[in-house]
Amino acid sequence: MSHPDFILLYVDHVQTSARFYSRLFDCLPVESSDDFALFILKSGLKLGLWTRQAVEPTAQLTGGGSELVIQEAGNAAVDACHSRWQALGLAILQAPVQMDFGYTFVALDPDNHRLRVYCPGAV
């Protein structure tokens, strides 16, 4: 059975969002135009940024309806990522906190897509 390998985020300004994700993930898009940008991340996951005005069929949902989740190897790595993202000026929606599933924090991208970083708790 096939598994998802590509996430599309609908954004207001592709180039603004592409610059944001370039800084966040320290990589450049492999494709970029006025309406679309594509990143291939180190994990192999593809992240597409599609201008909401060009999406077909038209999408009604805006940022905040889901989360892009990034796993880190330990609580210290979560804290380091939080510090780095704060220094980059990301809006932090939730400061690092221990939850049932692990240690986590949540930030927002320029279109209010939620970005969760976590380290799983003991299973």
Give the pLDDT mean for 100-104. 96
User: What are 64-76's pLDDT values in tens digits?
Assistant: 778 999 999 999 9
User: What are 42-55's pLDDT values in tens digits?
Assistant: 999 999 999 988 88
**pTM of the complete model:** 0.88
Calculate the alpha carbon distances from 103 to 94, 107, 111, 114 in Å: 11, 14, 25, 16
Q: CA 122 to CA 24: how far, in whole Å?
A: 28
Give the residue range(s) of CATH 3.10.180.10 domains in the chain. 67-120
CATH architecture observed for domain 6-51? 2-Layer Sandwich (3.30)
Give the residue range(s) of CATH 3.30.720.120 domains in the chain. 6-51
Strand order in the sheet with 91-99: 67-71, 114-120, 102-108, 91-99
A 10 A CB-CB count for 4 gives 7
Say if domain 67-120 classifies as CATH 3.10.180.10.
Answer: yes
